Amino acid sequence: MLVSLPSFRPERFGARQWTYPYQGLAQDVQAYQVARLQPGLSPGERDDIRDRALSSSANQDQFRLLDSVQSFGEARLAHVDALLRRGTDAAVAAAATEAIGLNVQATMYASSLSTQNVQVVTVLRQALIWTAVLTGLLSVLLIVRALWLWQQERDRLAAREARQREALRLASHELRRPLQQLLLATDLLRQAGTVAERQQLLALVEDSVTQLASRADLTRLNELYLDVNLQLAPRDLGPLLRAFAGIRVAVEVPPAPLTWLVDANRLRQTVENLVENALKYTDGPVEVSLRSVEGRPQILVRDHGEGMSPEMRARAFLAYERGPQGLINGDGLGLSLVRRYARAHGGDVTLEDAEGGGTLARLTLGIPPTPF
């Protein structure tokens, strides 16, 4: 605005080009001050900006009328250069202030050389003061923005690390069962007396190894446990559930095949967690049954224990929630993973009071959502 006034036209104000090095010095030093606070800059880029500022402060020959300019205030070029070479944040901030002051002194000295009247000089000085204030505000805004970007990056890294820790905890939880089964099978294999027993135990070893490989793929931990990505295929659910039959576990499946589109490994983990919880918190039998309800498979896991309060059922599927008073060892991750896998299959899982006592887990399968 000021340069548009007649009294500020170059031909009346005099040559001002000699002040450009002072302006350039202030800009270079402020650019280096901001660069030191920007986490996204590489060391090479930051060094280039520093070298440009040092080159400007060390080249005294480019600063015309330096003695006269320095006599107009307390700012000194030598101070700027010395502060820059210290290389600390405080020293660079002081160098920026000194360079701005030197630039202001140069501008004011140039104004004193002109033949402008007192009113124009007053307006110019006010403009220079506002320029210094705005420059300071701009520097503050740049610093705040750099700090905000740094905090955003820090939060993003923290969130990614938290997800990685969660995936590793879930993987550790799910690897425990096949590892225990493998250790038991290898121990029994040493005592097997017949070929048939050895063949049965070898099949158990092979199944355990297959499950370990399925659950411990380090390249797919997110797909396995967090952003679940199913490997779907049509599967008769009856044989999958019969494998859970044991001394305390009774399995009932319909005589006709009940085929559904599932990820067999993830569905097996789901039922494993439900059966394991039922066995862990009760001493009686556990019943697993399969049926079709409204054209969709339902897997029921029932125990004959004391049951669960409504408050416990409401919290049961939250991560790190455990059974009554935490009396049983565990980390409380199994049921949270059960619900995640059930919903990935387009269904859900619920807990309810069983008729006659105990708890009934109802796992309903649906149509898995189509990935984008």
For the chain, how many residues are written? Answer: 372
DSSP helix/strand/coil, 298: strand
Is 112 a member of any domain? yes
Can you say how many angstroms the Cα of residue 350 is from the centroid of all Cα atoms in its chain? 30
The tally of domains found in the chain comes to 3
**Residues 83 and 172 occupy one common structural domain:** no
- How far is the CA of 341 from the CAs of 123, 150, 158, 264, 347, in angstroms? 72, 36, 26, 11, 9
Q: Is residue 29 part of a domain?
A: yes
Q: How far apart are CA 301 and CA 291, in angstroms?
A: 12
Residue 59 has pLDDT above 50, yes or no: yes
| 88 φ, ψ (degrees, to nearest 5) | -95, 160
Do 238 and 324 lie in one domain? The reply is yes
Q: Are residues 79 and 46 in the same domain?
A: yes
Residue 293 pLDDT > 60: yes
| Ranges 185-189, 191-195, 334-338, 357-361, most confident | 357-361
Confidence of residue 259 (pLDDT cuts 50, 70, 90): very high
pLDDT in tens, 320-355: 555 554 444 555 677 888 999 999 999 999 999 999
Neighbouring CB atoms inside 10 A of 82's CB total 15
| Domain contains 152 | no
Residues 344 and 357 in one domain: yes
Which of 314, 296, 298 lies closest to 363, judged by CA? 298
Q: For residue 337, is it within any domain? A: yes
89 and 173 inside one domain: no
In this predicted structure, what is the pLDDT of residue 121? 63
State which of 98, 116, 134 marks the end of a domain: 116
Coil, helix or strand at residue 128: helix
Residues 254, 310 within the same domain: yes
Identify whether residues 244 and 356 lie together within a single domain.
yes
Q: Is residue 253 part of a domain?
A: yes
Structure confidence by residue, pLDDT tens digits, 103-162: 999 988 888 876 554 566 678 788 999 999 999 899 899 999 998 988 888 888 887 777
Collapsing DSSP states into helix, strand and coil, what is residue 40? coil
At residue 14, the pLDDT reads 46
Residue 27 resides in a domain: yes
Give the domain CATH number at 265. Answer: 3.30.565.10
Q: What is the pLDDT of residue 227?
A: 77
Instruction: Give the confidence band of 6 by pLDDT, cuts at 50, 70, 90.
Output: very low
> Tell me, what's the pLDDT at 191?
80
Residue range(s) defining the domain that contains residue 33 = 2-116
* Claim to verify: residue 206 and residue 284 sit in the same structural domain: no
The single-letter code of the amino acid at 27 is Q
Is 300 found in the same domain as 236? yes
pLDDT of residue 289: 97
Mean pLDDT of 254-280: 93
For residues 89 and 87, give the distance between their C-alpha atoms in angstroms, rounded to a whole number.
7
Rounded to 5°, the CA angle 155-315-293 comes to: 115
Average pLDDT value over all residues in the chain: 84
CB-count exposure of residue 137 (10 Å: 0-12, 13-18, 19+): exposed
Tally of CB atoms within 10 A around 350: 14
Is residue 7, in this structure, part of any structural domain at all?
Answer: yes
- Band the pLDDT of 271: cuts 50, 70, 90: very high
Q: Are residues 252 and 217 in the same domain?
A: no
Instruction: pLDDT band for 240, please (50, 70, 90 cuts).
Output: very high
Strand partners, 252: 289
At which of 224, 243, 271 does a domain end?
Answer: 224
pLDDT at 13: 42
19 contacts 106 by C-beta, under 8 angstroms: yes
Residue 4 has what pLDDT? 44
- For helices 89-113 and 77-86, angle between their N-to-C axes, nearest 10 degrees: 160
Q: 348 and 250 in one domain? A: yes
Distance CA 307, CA 297 (A): 24
Question: What are 306-328's pLDDT values in tens digits?
Answer: 888 888 888 888 865 555 544 44
Alpha helices in the chain (DSSP H): 10-13, 20-35, 43-58, 66-70, 77-86, 89-113, 118-191, 195-215, 221, 237-242, 264-281, 310-315, 334-344
Residue 158 lies in a domain: no
Cα–Cα dist 155/164, whole Å: 14
What span, in angstroms and rounded, lies between the C-alpha atoms of 372 and 68? 70
| Shared-domain flag, residues 179 and 214 | yes
